[in-house]
Structure 1
Amino acid sequence: MFMVSRRRIAALAAVAVGAWVVSACSPGDLGSSDKDSQATTLTFLVDNSDPTVKTAQGLVNAFTAKNPTIKITVETRPQGSDGDNVVKTRLATGDMSDIFWYNSGSLFQALKPEQNLATITDLSSAGDIDAAFKTTVSANGQLYGVPAGGATGGGILYNKAIYSQLSLQVPKTWADFMANNAKIKAAGIAPVIQSYQDSWTSQLFVLADFHNVSAAQPGWAGRYTANQAKYATTPAAMRGFQHLQEVHDADYLNKDFASLKFEQGLKALADGKGAHYPMLTFAVGTIAQQSPDKIKDIGFFAQPGDDASKYGLTVWEPAGIYVAKKTNGAKLDAAKKFLAFVASKEGCDAQAKAFTPSGPFLVKGCTLPADVPGAIKDMQPYFDGGNNSPALEFLSPIKGPSLEQITVEVGSGIRKADSAAELYDQDVKKQAQQLGLPGW
């Protein structure tokens, strides 16, 4: 969730069936064969999820309204591994669309960008793109993508009504967070909601702590990928596992943490049965849907570390929009013009109009709509102040498959933090060797 043997014919057939054309003509241009003959036509490949399709269509409509001599044909592909294989196969065979929407981070690196993508380092709006995002779509000093959609934060969703009732302040250190938990427990409310029936939710105290790891150990992700750093031997990296153990040992969890499911955890938070829920901000949409009358009570803050001066947010970066290397001449110029539009305030506005954003846009000058939930707005200061870092999975291809089982054990009091970190290092080693990474 945080992270072809391809059936090429079936996958590519799905792309063909899902394709449609978005007209670039303004009403006055309809039927103008002369202008049509002068138009530059681009193809744009996106996954077939509703948010992606609507956002892509909104971007195309807004861009082509301003640039009637550029036409964009939008194609869809499957999601998941089948979609990954469509992208990789089309790049390898030279059959990729002119521009395409795809993951940032380690999955972007797997596309061999220098070989398959056109650099956009000279893009007119490149300077307005968030610096942390740029690291996830760059290779050897060259920029290849612009952000598609908003960012997602990893941290703590909290009940603002409870905080107001108990006169609590948003904590900037782990010690302050635990002090808040003590006051919440004394008031007869579960301080921390966990939902281990959906085991993936158990990982947040570890994964959302990565900004604190990066702040304490700059460059740790690279050393980790090269097998030069470990969770068990890096105190800052060990802290996420220790956080899990500490909240359990202090009896700060909801009594039904072992059987509660994700949606139930969100409802418990909205209903004030618990004060905190370690989670990704995409979950705000679910709260808005199932508890619309309580959404104003929900806020968000980054997972605190040990140093308030380095307090910041771990970010799950948005996908990127890229240009295939085969795109050249007038098509390349048009493609870059489109990407420059995406990475502009007008582009952000077009995206927000097309689909409610999941978090702040990573482009200077872009703002969230006034009607987005408060928990989403709570993320903006971390970007305005530059106090954010990409999650580890955007900096390294290594994520052991057993992490969620290990974190359930720690959060349930079955395994201690130091043992869990050692076990996870072993889990990671197996995966790194399967990936054929050097140094393993």
Structure 2
Amino acid sequence: MTRTNPRPTRRLLAFAVALTLAPLTACSAGSLGSSSDSDSGGKTTITWLTGVDETAQATAKSIVTAFEKANPDVTVKLDGKPAGADGDNLVKTRLQTGSMPDVFDYNSGSLFQQIAPEKNLTKLTGDDAVAKVDEAFDPQVSVGSDVYGVPYGTAFGGGVMYNKKVYDQLGLKVPTTWAEFVSNADAIKAAGKTAVIQTYGETWTAQLPILGDFHNVSAADQNWAKDYTANKKKYATDPVALAGFQHLQEIHDKGWENADFASAKVPDGMRMLADGDGVMYPILSGNITTLAAAAPDKVNDVGFFALPGSDAASNGLTAWFPNAVYIPNTTKDAKLTAAKKLLAFIASPAGCDAQSQASPPTGPYLVEGCTLPADVPQVTKDVQAYFDADKQSPALEFLSPVKGPNLEQLCVEVGSGITPAADAAKLYDQDVEKQAQQLGLAGW
């Protein structure tokens, strides 16, 4: 990312990096400073709107440098947008006013649908720009059969980071059912270690047992997200969906969590995990960067597995997809040709390599022919394996715009033993109803 992530994902990763809400700046790949976008000397100049923070700029500059070397007839300039709601509003305003630069990156999934792609974006269906894009990504940037974007960054998963050394010491195997997870947690607790790390000092992390469990919900009912959006499914009344809340309560009731769960933050959890004092940590795999900062010499002692449900046969990963790069329909003629070349480069092995050089990948690239560097962390390799085996499905936010604002607070209450799982699920359904009505969704 720089991902202007709405909770839970795209907002969930906002926790990982402190993003600077700086004034808009324009820059080329090599230096800061404004410049005209006029074409001269047979070269076409296009502008790419991307995040203004350091990571976003470094990644875009790496891509632009490699792209301009392969395409000397095109110059790409970078324009910066702030993170969070300010950046989100900027994108919508520029699209509505016809002032969007030639290329821009933005969310995929349900938030992509909110920028009126059919009205504002250039269709890429059948174009070389999307020729190498993994079909798993297409639904995140499509309206009907029309595709509008290419992936930018890597996918990641919601599941459990675990200490592989402790697992080996205790003779444990990666669980593929919740019953096996329970057995492992009991064994870890009996060995005198924290079985399940919780870090409510950063309240978003309390949501993982629910959000990361959505693959299991979807596997039990492929229409669940559609019915949920239409007010036909509820967390409190669907046993499979309710299970995530119940699992969160079980973690507390069985005393599996660390004593300082109420105040601990993600770096604390990562240090505990790396040291083996805590053994399983429900978290987003993208937080491998926090682990690498907290314990760089122990990164590969940690692996990753999907949150298990009741059925081993359908065990798989709840996946969060990367942002995408789009072309507004105001980009025309030579600039449109150049913009499509840039998108085709981003969604190619050369584009993936350029991204990897700027920032180590935290999950798989959803582009044919792209491979992860050999030295990526074990967590990243484990997430890649779920994609390779086609044992993954999108997180709910990629399938539905419905998410109540109070989920993380309710999850903290359940995980702290304050509110029972069943009561919290009912409260969350009420929370969701208000939000769905604000969105004007049918059936609410």
- Tell whether the 8 Å contact from 2:230 to 2:443 is kept in structure 1 after alignment: yes
Equivalent residue number for residue 410 of structure 1: 414
Query: Cα distance 1:214–1:187, how it changes in 2: closer, same or farther (>3 A)?
Result: same
CA–CA separation in structure 2 for the residues paired with 1:53 and 1:222: 37
2:400 pairs with 1:396: yes
Offset at residue 62 of structure 1 (A) = 1.0
Question: What is the match of residue 261 of structure 1?
Answer: 265
CA distance in 2: counterparts of 1:220 and 1:123, whole angstroms: 33
**Partner residue in 2 for 1:152:** 156
The answer to whether the 8 Å contact 2:216/2:240 transfers is yes
Distance 1:387 1:396 in 2: 20
Task: Please say if residues 266 and 290 of structure 2, whose CA atoms lie closer than 8 Å, have aligned partners that are also in contact.
Answer: no
Q: Counterpart of 1:20 in structure 2: which amino acid? A: C
1:30 corresponding residue in structure 2: none
Identify the residue that residue 167 of structure 1 maps to in structure 2. Answer: 171
Aligned partners of 2:129 and 2:341 also within 8 Å = no
Cα distance between partner residues in 1 of 2:87 and 2:124: 24
Q: Which moved more, 1:47-56 or 1:269-278?
A: 47-56
2:280 aligned counterpart, secondary structure: strand
Matched, 1:21 2:25: no
Alpha-carbon distance between aligned partners in 1 of 2:287 and 2:343, rounded to the nearest angstrom: 29
Matched, 1:314 2:318: yes
Residues 275-324 of structure 1 deviation map (CA, whole Å, 9 limit, x = unaligned): 10100112211111121122121111111111122111111211100000
C-alpha contact 1:157 1:277 (8 A) present in aligned 2: yes
Percent identical pairs in the alignment equals: 55
Q: Is the 8 A contact 2:22 2:52 kept in 1?
A: no
1:225 paired residue number: 229
Match in the other structure for 1:28: none
Question: Is 1:364 matched with 2:373?
Answer: no
Correspondence for 2:120 = 116
Go from structure 1 to structure 2 and tell me whether the alpha carbon gap of 1:235 and 1:131 turns closer, same or farther (over 3 Å shift).
farther
> How big is the shift at 1:127?
4.7
**Structure 1 counterpart SS, 2:46:** strand
Match 2:336 to one of 329, 332, 337: 332
Q: Secondary structure of the equivalent of 1:269?
A: helix
Tell me how far 1:273 sits from its aligned partner. Answer: 1.1
Distance 2:377 2:129 in 1: 28
Give TM-score scaled by structure 2 length: 0.91
User: Residue type matched to 2:341 in 1?
Assistant: K
Distance 1:175 1:131 in 2: 33
**What are the residue-to-residue correspondences of 1:30-429 with 2, within 5 Å?**
36-124=40-128, 126-429=130-433
Q: Distance in 2 between matches of 1:431 and 1:61?
A: 43
Change (3 A) 1:393 1:102: same
Say if 1:200 and 1:277 are closer, same or farther in 2 by CA, change over 3 A: same
Could you tell me which runs of 5 or more consecutive residues in structure 2 were left unpaired when the two chains were aligned: 1-6, 12-20, 31-38
Give deviations 1:351-393, integer Å, cap 9, x for gaps.
1112212211111221111122111121111111121112111
- The one-letter code sitting in structure 1 at the alignment partner of 2:348 is S
Q: Shift in Å at residue 189 of structure 1?
A: 0.9
Q: Report the Cα offset of residue 72 of structure 1.
A: 1.1
Deviation at residue 125 of structure 1 after TM alignment: 5.5
Deviation at 1:36, TM superposition (A): 4.6
Residues 79-106 of structure 1 deviation map (CA, whole Å, 9 limit, x = unaligned): 1111111111111111111110111112
Deviation at 1:37, TM superposition (A): 1.8
Aligned AA (1:14): P
Q: Describe the SS at the equivalent of 2:252.
A: helix
Is the alpha carbon distance of 1:426 and 1:62 closer, same or farther for their aligned partners in structure 2, counting shifts above 3 Å?
Answer: same
- 1:193-213 alpha-carbon deviations (Å, 9 max, x no partner): 111232211110000011111
**For the Cα contact (< 8 Å) 2:130–2:149, is it kept in 1?**
no
Deviations 1:123-144 (Å, cap 9, x if unpaired)?
2253532333221111122111
Root-mean-square deviation (CA, aligned residues, Å) is 1.8
- Deviation per residue, 1:41-79 (Å, 9 max, x gap): 211100112222111111111111111111111111111
- Structure 1 counterpart SS, 2:41: helix
Q: For residue 244 of structure 2, what is the amino acid of its counterpart?
A: G
CA distance in 1, matches of 2:119, 2:319: 28
| SS of residue paired to 1:156 | strand
User: Who is 1:31 aligned against?
Assistant: none
Question: Is the alpha carbon distance of 1:13 and 1:186 closer, same or farther for their aligned partners in structure 2, counting shifts above 3 Å?
Answer: closer
2:15 maps to what in 1? none
DSSP 3-state at the match of 1:414: coil
